Amino acid sequence: MRAIFTPLEHRVPIDDRDAGSAQHALSGLWQQAGLPAAALDHIEAPGDAPVLPSSFAVADAIQASMAAASGAAAELWHLRHGRRQRVLVPRENAVLESCAHFTLDGRALHLWDKLSGLYRCGEALGEPGWVRLHANFAHHRDGALKLLGCPTGDATERPAVEQALRGWRAEEFEDAAAQAGLVVAALRSVDTWDRHPQALALAGQPAVRIERLGDAAPREWTHAADTDRPLHGLRVLDLTRILAGPVAGRTLAAYGAEVLLLNSPHLPNIDAIAETSRGKRSAHLDLRSGAGRERLQALLADAHVFVQGYRPGGLQALGFGPEQLAALRPGIVAVSLSAYGSTGPWSTRRGFDSLVQTATGFNDAEARAAGAAKPQALPLQALDYAAGYLLAFGAQAALWRQAREGGSWHVQVSLAGVGQWLRSLGRVDGGLKAEAPDITPFLVSEPSGFGRLVAVRHAPQFSETPPLWRWPSMPPGSHPAAWA
């Protein structure tokens, strides 16, 4: 086992009145989660530079959400030891870690399908607009091509899709795709999104919802050796596939949790799994079979946290919804990720970061700020990564409350809700002029089951228990579906 970095030196207490905007964002998250204010004096999120070019405060969102996750881990360590350690989250490192940058055996992988992206539509109808397609999975790509009347398969080129979309109004195609179980988003302005029924359903909700599910005795956090990481002995079931959820599990693994990633053998994954599986054990489990469901229930008996990112209601239909988990394993912390939230007309709609950015106004707003004619994406998948850190934060905040109050708990984060929170952090004057820093000083090289992995090191620095990933990243199915 190798520490990712050296421990942080002890620093002077923080005066939040003089802190940067990320520190203020952290304070808001911390207060909403009900964690002790005294702990904030031991968590630093310094700096205020934009880091990457954007008119939105993406650096604040990434740094604050990561500081919340690492700070919560340190607070759980405090439960065991009665003293607090210090945590520092360097701003540039945090943002660059959230850019999905990695190579395998010196090769950079192509993470986007050639048909994914923005398209003009409606021009043949005199109502030009934009839609974004997400074609990284073959079944989503072929479903969209079938809906458009184009030949399916990877031989189809963009001009054929562009021509077909000329006859569709943007929101009509978005709705037709959703009804077919596909993933498409129509471009909206921020003002148009704010009037949407789904935006109204999210209004006033916190970025991280932490709710008690039912009664259970408090679970005592046993005293651990001073050198043990904060989450030593914690067992996490990770049933996620696409960025935000895997980032949450990877973060918990860095702080000492045993994370067991469970992938279905019949569902595809994205290449980023090579980077987001660091520190996890990785197994196959087919929940379509009775034997697979029985095995998951057996694993649940010894789990403390259950993280899932399947479509809303998908696991509930198999007997593993939040309330069902609480009945099977009293005291569990169930963690749910969704695209658009758990209430409202889009609560069952599928989505990914790029699509939610388009639907909720970010692409239009960035283009307006840049004076660009074409919609413009954020410089990183900020909704996914911030959501991942906030899922890890919410899980640990719920564990802290469970240790004090008992109960089973449900943590909910949505990509659209994270977008709402990102907007609340304000805009950055001149942010689009920022130049990305050199990523090279932040890279580390390590073995993996996918090849030699070079990726950005984990940013948070702890004064007493430096994070590390116990297991190398391995392909799905490399380990048995069992605790170590």
User: Tens digits of per-residue pLDDT, 144-171?
Assistant: 999 999 999 888 899 999 999 999 999 9
pLDDT at residue 4 tops 80: no
* Predicted TM-score of the model (pTM): 0.94
pLDDT at residue 314 tops 90: no
**3-state secondary structure (DSSP) of residue 102:** strand
Place of tokens 């905040």: 397
Q: How many CB atoms lie within 10 A of CB 203?
A: 10
Q: Residue 56: what are its φ and ψ, rounded to 5°?
A: -100, 160
CA count, 13 A, side-chain hemisphere, 40 = 20
Q: Decide if 145 is inside a domain.
A: no
Cα Rg of the chain, angstroms: 22
Average pLDDT over residues 243-256: 97
Residue type for position 484: A
Share of the chain above pLDDT 90, in %: 86
Q: Decide if 182 is inside a domain.
A: no
The domain tally of the chain equals 1
- pLDDT tens per residue, range 352-404: 999 999 999 999 999 999 999 999 999 999 999 999 999 999 999 999 999 99
Residue type for position 250: R
Q: Decide if 312 is inside a domain.
A: yes
Residue 11, pLDDT score: 30
The model's confidence at residue 312, banded by pLDDT at 50, 70 and 90, is confident
Q: Decide if 40 is inside a domain.
A: yes
CATH code for the domain of 316: 3.40.50.10540
Q: What is the mean pLDDT of the chain?
A: 93
Write the burial class of residue 442 (CB in 10 Å: 0-12 exposed, 13-18 middle, 19+ buried). buried
CA–CA gap between residue 449 and residue 444 (Å, rounded): 16
Contact 160, 166 (CB under 8 A): no
Q: Decide if 115 is inside a domain.
A: no
Average pLDDT over residues 234-262: 97
Q: Decide if 266 is inside a domain.
A: yes
Contact 114, 138 (CB under 8 A): no
Residue 18, pLDDT score: 36
Q: Decide if 334 is inside a domain.
A: yes
Average pLDDT over residues 411-415: 98
pLDDT at residue 7 tops 80: no
Residue 446, pLDDT score: 97
pLDDT at residue 225 tops 90: no
pLDDT at residue 252 tops 90: yes
pLDDT at residue 440 tops 60: yes
Beta-bridge partners for 238: 261, 307
Average pLDDT over residues 173-194: 96
Average pLDDT over residues 36-57: 97
Residue 20, pLDDT score: 62
Q: Decide if 132 is inside a domain.
A: no
Domain that holds residue 50: 16-108+201-343+379-462
DSSP, residue by residue, 6-43: PPPPP-PPP-GGGS-HHHHHHHHHHHHTT--GGGGGGE
Average pLDDT over residues 280-307: 97
Residue 311, pLDDT score: 82
| Inter-helix orientation angle 415-424/58-81, to 10° | 110
Q: How many CB atoms lie within 10 A of CB 184?
A: 27
- pLDDT tens per residue, range 51-110: 999 999 999 999 999 999 999 999 999 999 999 999 999 999 999 999 999 999 999 987
